[in-house]
Chain A
């Protein structure tokens, strides 16, 4: 019996035996939806490797927050050359780690709703937070944030927790941008309509929204594009709110300790070419960071167009985030 444990010991040690690649490589830390088989990751890898004479490796961590934590834990010894998948909510924390380098790119061709001036982070896609609703169960959605807050309590919505989720934090900032100091009172008025505040967007979308538990969920204005283009259904649409919508920009950055900075910088350049960006609209379900012209899928013409992009500078956000979260907690637990 004891010797029967031997193959088991071998199996246990198997992962250790898999050797590392010896080719010149570019290590990119990213999140699951980018690197997934059906996400932009594989196509981007193929296109970049076609002329870089290198190997592009993804290390997949479960969120932008996890990427940051990994960087922090690894410190100067990190094997990462590029981090891809941070966003405007995590930029400030990322900068504070002190492991990211200037991109030294001009960024002239960007097509963002705001002017981008950051010297560290290069945007690769963007989107608006919005409430996605089920047209079969809610034919007349609220037309403004105010109308949502004033709606009767039998309209149920699903939110995400700003302490653990990016859209959750986005909505907190959205409420803050629109209402400022009034936001806690508005949160209280909203509280009767909140069916659930989930840990992550996935929990809410899969377990609750798709099970028909509530007709509205906090998501992205681009979510309907996926349902229309891939699921071939017009059933799920985003509600356009008069006050404007809060903007999220997803960014990548160069790691200071990278031993192959020219290659890493060429990847950042590549990121803003059509070979990269054409995969963004339907595979990442966000707006591309450059103008794709005729390559833009048609369904994107049918998405809502916010009257105004609400946006707070990441540096300002990091200063007020904890206070906003505490106000939110107070308002909802009072």
Chain B
């Protein structure tokens, strides 16, 4: 008998460390190359004069100011919503509300903005109500109002979801004790909620800040004029209209420096900010609360749902006439269906890639020791947010220029970049579940020799199935709605869904564009719905197996 036991596949520790490190360094290299090749393509520059100019300083000031306000508002609204969702854990339609929270982040900007305008614009439903109930109210969407409103629409739902996960991690015994002691108000917050939210807040604030800092089309459409220029607008202008690569690279560097130092501040305290620490070992307990609290929670939740729903309803109302046409029903779908297929051909690899990268990065982050080694996987999660995709894409294009043979390679590049752009989000979704495996189980697995592939298959996969499905949905949906990157590489006359939308817009086909917008919304909804339908393994087989860890509620 051979006394050698064959090691399980992928059981060596390096399998956990190196792939993540390689990906992280690759990403750093890409960003560096992108910026480097922009700088190289441009030659000498007058950086000092540019940065000292009042235009640049105004742009920076406004960008920071609106991002700061957006963070305060988004978190300020997300917090009560998360409390309300935490309070009501079993109302019918709660799962739908969670899907709704996922949706707004992935909506293509132009579709979402048209929905917001239909509700809050000068001729909008909300404004009409306001006119009737409160004449002389002075509400005006355009300007800082509109920017903040749109940023809250995009970011507050995401923040609410993440805060909700944090609140749900409060251990049941602690809730019971708090309940028995009759804690309420400030003391309840201090003893129970704040400790749960504290680790999540800095990273969350930094994430929302970065998203608002790099916001672009929203700012221009709703900002009202050149007073509301952000750094990303300036980068676009330099790259697309003035062909001033130096200026573009400089602006991009500033963006990197500002957002990067923010992330550094967050990380200095905790290198691995736990966004979704949803380890849960017992059934959740409810606090006994006053009646007024329940009413207030219900009102907040209802108001927020209405706020999220109405623009979607407006998109549907506007798009339906095109999707259910009276005269030539086939023609539109003749374009929509192939475009959907092409979009999926890009978005599915991008989404899968984003999930794979996130998992490998998390594995490496858990393994990596040492100050600098641990920085690399941590960077992977945030770099794609702060390097403008146009810069990343341009750099890649310059770098790969000689090898580019046919347009299909361009499409692969689009999938690659879209996948990278989605990594920060898939990482947020997966981080909590990956670290939720308790150390007792891990020790036991070590003793039993459940390592490598088997450990992944039998310990992680059961608890990660549903989070992975959610992360995949985010990854696919984010790249499905993306227009920016694909526009850079160009398409061989066959549009993806967002490109089709822009083609229709460019040719006055406004009704059809509205239809395409609604179609895109429906595709996104069905992606989330179908992937959230992934069942937990035990319920699927009906074997009555004991679940190692209760399913996270959010998945």
| CA of A191 to CA of B114, assembled, Å | 23
Query: Contacts A65-B240, A163-B241, A191-B225 given: A15-B412 contact, CB under 8 Å?
Result: yes
Residues of A within 8 A of B402 (CB): 77
CB distance from B321 to the nearest CB of A (A): 12
Cβ-neighbour of A207 out of B113, B345, B495, B507 (below 8 A)? B113
Pairwise interchain contact B356-A5, C-beta atoms closer than 8 A: yes
Residues of B within 8 A of A201 (CB): 506
Is B236 in the interface zone, CB < 8 Å from A?
yes
Pairwise interchain contact A202-B110, C-beta atoms closer than 8 A: yes
Is B224 in the interface zone, CB < 8 Å from A?
yes
Is B493 in the interface zone, CB < 8 Å from A?
yes
Residues of A within 8 A of B237 (CB): 163-164
Query: Contacts A69-B239, A202-B110 given: A77-B499 contact, CB under 8 Å?
Result: no
Is B222 in the interface zone, CB < 8 Å from A?
yes
Interface residue stretch chosen among A140-148, A175-183, A246-254, A326-334? A326-334
Pairwise interchain contact B492-A164, C-beta atoms closer than 8 A: no
| CA of A208 to CA of B118, assembled, Å | 9
CB distance from A258 to the nearest CB of B (A): 17
Residues of A within 8 A of B502 (CB): 32, 62, 202
Cβ-neighbour of B221 out of A38, A69, A199, A227 (below 8 A)? A199
Pairwise interchain contact B225-A207, C-beta atoms closer than 8 A: no
Pairwise interchain contact B348-A11, C-beta atoms closer than 8 A: yes
Interface residue stretch chosen among A52-60, A111-119, A289-297? A52-60
Tell me which residues from 47 to 78 in chain A have a Cβ below 8 Å from any Cβ of chain B.
57-63, 65-66, 68-70, 72-75, 77
| CA of A251 to CA of B346, assembled, Å | 33
Nearest residue (CB) in A for B318 is A211
Pairwise interchain contact A203-B221, C-beta atoms closer than 8 A: yes
Residues of B within 8 A of A77 (CB): 401-402
Is B505 in the interface zone, CB < 8 Å from A?
yes
CB distance from B350 to the nearest CB of A (A): 9
Pairwise interchain contact B508-A15, C-beta atoms closer than 8 A: no
Residues of B within 8 A of A1 (CB): 453, 456-457, 461
Pairwise interchain contact B506-A202, C-beta atoms closer than 8 A: yes
Pairwise interchain contact A69-B240, C-beta atoms closer than 8 A: yes
Query: Contacts A32-B506, A38-B507, A58-B493 given: A20-B406 contact, CB under 8 Å?
Result: yes
| CA of A254 to CA of B401, assembled, Å | 21
Residues of A within 8 A of B113 (CB): 203, 207
Pairwise interchain contact B226-A332, C-beta atoms closer than 8 A: yes
Residues of B within 8 A of A58 (CB): 492-493
Interface residue stretch chosen among B269-277, B440-448, B483-491? B483-491
Nearest residue (CB) in A for B402 is A77
Cβ-neighbour of B345 out of A2, A14, A19, A211 (below 8 A)? A14
Is B14 in the interface zone, CB < 8 Å from A?
no
**Of A198, A230, A333, which is in contact with the most chain B CB atoms at under 10 Å from its CB?**
A333
Pairwise interchain contact B398-A73, C-beta atoms closer than 8 A: yes
Residues of A within 8 A of B241 (CB): 65, 163-164
Is A133 in the interface zone, CB < 8 Å from B?
no
Is A161 in the interface zone, CB < 8 Å from B?
yes
Query: Contacts A61-B487, A164-B237, A206-B114 given: A36-B243 contact, CB under 8 Å?
Result: no
Pairwise interchain contact B507-A285, C-beta atoms closer than 8 A: yes
Query: Contacts A59-B492, A62-B502, A332-B227 given: A195-B487 contact, CB under 8 Å?
Result: no
Is B280 in the interface zone, CB < 8 Å from A?
no
Query: Contacts A36-B507, A161-B226, A198-B220 given: A213-B352 contact, CB under 8 Å?
Result: no
Residues of B within 8 A of A19 (CB): 406
Pairwise interchain contact A61-B490, C-beta atoms closer than 8 A: yes
| CA of A187 to CA of B488, assembled, Å | 33
| CA of A73 to CA of B117, assembled, Å | 37
Nearest residue (CB) in A for B225 is A197
Residues of B within 8 A of A326 (CB): 55
Over the window 457-478 of chain B, the binary record of Cβ atoms lying under 8 Å from chain A Cβ atoms (1 yes, 0 no) is 1000100000000000000000
Residues of B within 8 A of A18 (CB): 406, 408
Tell me which residues from 286 to 310 in chain B have a Cβ below 8 Å from any Cβ of chain A.
none
CB distance from A329 to the nearest CB of B (A): 5
Pairwise interchain contact A33-B503, C-beta atoms closer than 8 A: yes
Pairwise interchain contact B225-A194, C-beta atoms closer than 8 A: yes
| CA of A231 to CA of B208, assembled, Å | 42
| CA of A2 to CA of B406, assembled, Å | 31
Is B88 in the interface zone, CB < 8 Å from A?
no
Is A88 in the interface zone, CB < 8 Å from B?
no
Is B217 in the interface zone, CB < 8 Å from A?
yes
Cβ-neighbour of A195 out of B110, B224, B352 (below 8 A)? B224
Pairwise interchain contact A59-B349, C-beta atoms closer than 8 A: no
Nearest residue (CB) in A for B344 is A11
Is A223 in the interface zone, CB < 8 Å from B?
yes
Query: Contacts A213-B121, A285-B508 given: A57-B114 contact, CB under 8 Å?
Result: no
Pairwise interchain contact A12-B415, C-beta atoms closer than 8 A: yes
Residues of B within 8 A of A287 (CB): none
Tell me which residues from 493 to 514 in chain B have a Cβ below 8 Å from any Cβ of chain A.
493, 495, 499, 502-510, 513-514
Pairwise interchain contact A206-B510, C-beta atoms closer than 8 A: yes
Query: Contacts A14-B345, A164-B237 given: A35-B493 contact, CB under 8 Å?
Result: yes
Cβ-neighbour of A205 out of B233, B356, B493, B510 (below 8 A)? B510
Cβ-neighbour of A199 out of B220, B242, B409 (below 8 A)? B220
Nearest residue (CB) in B for A161 is B220
| CA of A211 to CA of B352, assembled, Å | 37
CB distance from B489 to the nearest CB of A (A): 8
Pairwise interchain contact B394-A203, C-beta atoms closer than 8 A: no
Pairwise interchain contact A12-B349, C-beta atoms closer than 8 A: yes
Nearest residue (CB) in A for B504 is A36
| CA of A333 to CA of B335, assembled, Å | 43
Query: Contacts A57-B492, A191-B225 given: A164-B220 contact, CB under 8 Å?
Result: yes
Nearest residue (CB) in A for B390 is A69
15 A-B residue contacts at CB 8 Å?
A5-B352, A15-B409, A17-B408, A59-B493, A61-B487, A62-B487, A69-B239, A77-B401, A93-B243, A196-B142, A198-B221, A202-B505, A207-B110, A210-B510, A211-B114
Other 7 A-B pairs with CB < 8 A, given A60-B490, A66-B240, A69-B243: A11-B345, A15-B408, A32-B506, A58-B492, A207-B117, A208-B221, A213-B123
Residues of A within 8 A of B (CB): 1-2, 5, 8, 11-20, 29, 31-33, 35-39, 41, 57-63, 65-66, 68-70, 72-75, 77, 93, 156, 161, 163-164, 191, 194-199, 201-208, 210-214, 223, 226-227, 230-231, 283, 285, 322, 326, 328-329, 332-333
Residues of B within 8 A of A (CB): 9-10, 55, 58, 110, 113-114, 117-118, 121-123, 142, 216-217, 220-227, 233, 236-237, 239-243, 335, 345-346, 348-349, 352-353, 356, 394, 397-398, 401-402, 405-409, 411-412, 415, 453, 456-457, 461, 487-488, 490-493, 495, 499, 502-510, 513-514
For the complex of A and B, 3 pairs with smallest distance between CB atoms = A62-B487, A202-B505, A33-B506
